[in-house]
């Protein structure tokens, strides 16, 4: 896997990350479509995710929680906006309360995933994250930091090296 481009647009409050995988589009799509695979990459190493509801059909709510090192749980949800398997997925990703219900006071992130076959094999992936405002962007990051996500970043390499 190679990250081919990172494009940060502060005015539009979007982040676009592009990457290339050696595996075919159908295989990469499974990382999103199969909840058991999804939960092995969605959460940081110290905060593994568990998807308790997962259906990639328009309008469906997917629900997940991430469990921290001390057993604390952070709940989240996706609402599926657009699906064109295996090349396009758009969801709204948000924070939830301890009961798993969406927290309307918290910002949500639009997430668009586009997969395209590469000439000669493999898959190009583009992931666009969109926040409604710079304020939402900052609040989302602060929330993520509270949940230890940022701390967990540095531990990635150690886990991958195992």
Partner 1 sequence: MVVDEAPNADLVFHALADATRRDILAVATQEELSVSGLARRYPMSVTAVQKHVAVLEKAHLVTRRRHGREQLVRAVPDGLAAARNALDQLTSLWRGRLDRMAALLDNPDTGGTR
Picking from 73, 68, 84, the residue whose alpha carbon sits closest to that of residue 32 is 84
At closest approach, how far in Å is the CB of 106 from partner 1? 14
At closest approach, how far in Å is the CB of 16 from partner 1? 10
Between CA 149 and CA 151 the distance in angstroms is 5
Q: Rule CB under 8 A: which residues touch partner 1?
A: 1, 3, 6-11, 13, 15, 17, 19, 21-23, 27-28, 31, 37, 39-45, 48-49, 125, 127, 129, 134, 137-138, 140-142, 144-145, 149-150, 152-153, 156, 159-160, 162
For partner 1, the closer CB: 83 or 140: 140
For residue 116, the tally of other CB atoms under 10 A from its CB is: 13
At closest approach, how far in Å is the CB of 78 from partner 1? 14
Residue 67 burial class via C-beta count within 10 angstroms: exposed 0-12, middle 13-18, buried 19 and up: middle
């Amino acid at each position: 896997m190679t990250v081919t481009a990172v494009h940060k647009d502060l005015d539009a409050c979007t982040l676009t990350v592009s990457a290339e995988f050696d595996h075919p589009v159908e295989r990469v799509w499974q990382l999103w479509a199969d909840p058991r695979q999804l939960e092995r990459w969605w959460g940081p190493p110290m905060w593994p995710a568990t998807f308790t509801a997962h259906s990639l059909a328009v309008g469906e709510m997917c629900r997940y929680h991430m469990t921290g090192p001390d057993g604390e749980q952070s709940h989240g949800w996706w609402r599926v906006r657009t699906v064109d398997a295996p090349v396009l997925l758009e969801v709204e990703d948000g924070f939830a309360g301890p009961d798993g219900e969406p927290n309307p006071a918290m910002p949500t992130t639009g997430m668009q995933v586009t997969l395209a076959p590469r000439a000669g094999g493999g898959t190009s992936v583009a992931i666009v994250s969109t926040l409604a405002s710079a304020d939402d962007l900052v609040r989302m990051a602060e929330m993520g930091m509270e949940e230890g996500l940022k701390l967990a970043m540095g531990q990635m390499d150690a886990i991958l090296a195992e």
